[in-house]
Amino acid sequence: MKKEMKIGLLGLGVVATGVVERLAAQQKQIEAQTGILLSIEKALVLNPQEKAAVAKAHGFELVTNIEDITKDAEIDIVIELIGRISPAKEYILSALKNGKHVVTANKDLIAQHGKEIIAVAKEHKVGFYYEASVGGGIPLLRPLATSYAADTITSIKGIVNGTTNYMLTKMMEEQMDYQTALAQAQALGFAESDPTNDVDGIDAAYKMIILGAFAFGADLSLSDLSIQGIRHVQAADVVTAQTLGYEVKLIGEVKRVAQGITARVSPVLVPKTHPLAMIKNEYNGVFIESEGIGQSLLYGPGAGALPTATSVLSDLIEIADRAYDQQSFEAFNRKELGSPLADRSVVEENYFISVELNATPVSVDALVQSLNKQGYKVVYCALAATENRLSLIVNHVVPSAYEALLAELATQGQIQGQLGVMGDYNEN
């Protein structure tokens, strides 16, 4: 087996350029530790003229035809960093079928088409790794695949979207409203000009699909998750949350309940004493509960060129090591998919609801008494001192009962805030 492994890079944007720079900076160290020289030979780009300076500085060729990489017998490993689904999927499949190992950071692709791609990698006995697809620079997937191999995970929940965490931090700490926080996130480059995937929870949902596969062997799709973004988080509810001892966070969670695996993404009131409440701004954190280890938190930058590039390089080194030692390539995620999914209609959750009341005065005590008689467990209910706004927390509600509760509250006024609550309020 040769001691040099040659790389073809698909894309040369911010993260890909970070890979180029980190590999150049760490090349001698990597070679000293592995005995393998990793070198970028080619990069696929749309406009070679725009990227000529980077290619010249690092001594690799720019190409515009994918086959110049996938059918080049000298290329051992392909790194896909162009993003989105197409043509990334077609390019990756072509590389695998031509005997190339592949590294990607493409969470959308893994979440939607991971099974198909993994099957092709297995068929052609090549590696397919994607550590950087979740959590940017945080080592998440490899620890789940190895460190928890002898453990049983019961819950994995986290802040996995830096854009929304930055926005919610500003709303909590600087009393910004949603639009102001979004504008600032966009100005700083944390949010795209079209922030839909971030603020509507789709980005976080894709990441939880991947984490669910590693933690539980769950074969999830978007339709299996309950997904709610942060567009309707209001400043008044943020103030109430703080008063009650909570931070508001967009939380993704996959957990095991009696009926199977359940998953959701939603804005949640997180007790200030919980480790996830302490994660601010664009940082990410994943909180794991398991039978053996107990509770653990993995924390760090969830995005950015250098953190993501470092995760990509960790996959690159893993592939190079295994290929050089002529080891077989097992699937990155060793868990067999197929864990039973729970029927969401029977899964209980806790909720915070706020209502802008009609002019008619409402007796809080009478309302709570009425709701509790109907079987709801209302553990907090209060009127804001300066406005006609009712806030309540109800524990252990199934979806159908929650919808019925919203309908009843709507007769009292206009529903404003709907957030989850981590843990039982009367235990905080």
Q: Averaged in consecutive runs of 10 residues, what is the pLDDT profile of the chain (428 residues)?
A: 86 96 95 92 98 98 98 98 96 98 97 97 96 95 95 98 97 96 93 94 98 97 97 94 97 96 98 98 97 97 91 95 82 91 95 90 88 95 83 96 96 94 79
Is 61 annotated among the ligand-binding residues?
no
Residue 276 and residue 421 in one domain: no
| Domain of residue 318, residue span | 4-136+305-324
Residue 209 and residue 90 in one domain: no
Q: What is the structure's pLDDT at 203?
A: 97
Residue 168 and residue 242 in one domain: yes
Residue 342 within any structural domain of the chain: no
CATH code, domain carrying 294 = 3.30.360.10
Residues ≥6 apart with Cβ < 8 Å to 9: 16, 19, 20, 40, 42, 43, 44, 60, 78, 79, 81
Total structural domains within the chain? 3
CATH code, domain carrying 311 = 3.40.50.720
Residue 41 within any structural domain of the chain: yes
Residue 175 and residue 162 in one domain: yes
Residue 149 and residue 104 in one domain: no
Residue 283 and residue 254 in one domain: yes
Residue 154 and residue 132 in one domain: no
Q: What is the structure's pLDDT at 304?
A: 86
CATH code, domain carrying 411 = 3.30.70.260
List, by residue number, the catalytic residues. 207
Residue 94 within any structural domain of the chain: yes
pTM of the model: 0.95
Residue 99 and residue 26 in one domain: yes
Residue 83 and residue 114 in one domain: yes
Angstrom distance (rounded) from CA 403 to CA 391 = 16
Longest dimension (CA), the chain: 81
Residue 334 within any structural domain of the chain: no
With tokens 């709570």, the residue in question is 368
Residue 336 within any structural domain of the chain: no
Residue 184 and residue 113 in one domain: no
Residue 26 within any structural domain of the chain: yes
Residue 331 within any structural domain of the chain: no
Token pair of 165, please? 């965490």
Is 249 annotated among the ligand-binding residues?
no
Residue 335 within any structural domain of the chain: no
Q: Quick one: three-class SS letters along the chain?
A: CCCEEEEEEECCCHHHHHHHHHHHHHHHHHHHHHCCEEEEEEEECCCHHHHHHHHHHHCCEEECCCHHHHCCCCCCEEEECCCCCCCHHHHHHHHHHCCCEEEECCHHHHHHHHHHHHHHHHHCCCCEECHHHCCCCCCCHHHHHHCCCCCCEEEEEEECCHHHHHHHHHHHHCCCCHHHHHHHHHHCCCCCCCCHHHHCCHHHHHHHHHHHHHHHCCCCCHHHCEECCCCCCCHHHHHHHHHCCEEEEEEEEEEEECCEEEEEEEEEEEECCCHHHHCCCCEEEEEEEECCCEEEEEEEECCCHHHHHHHHHHHHHHHHHHHHCCCCCCCCCCCCCCCCECCHHHCCEEEEEEEEECCCCCCHHHHHHHHHHCCCEEEEEEECCCCCEEEEEEEEECHHHHHHHHHHHHCCEEEEEEEEECCCHHHC
Residue 191 and residue 260 in one domain: yes
Residue 296 and residue 316 in one domain: no
298 burial (CB, 10 Å; 0-12 / 13-18 / 19+) is middle
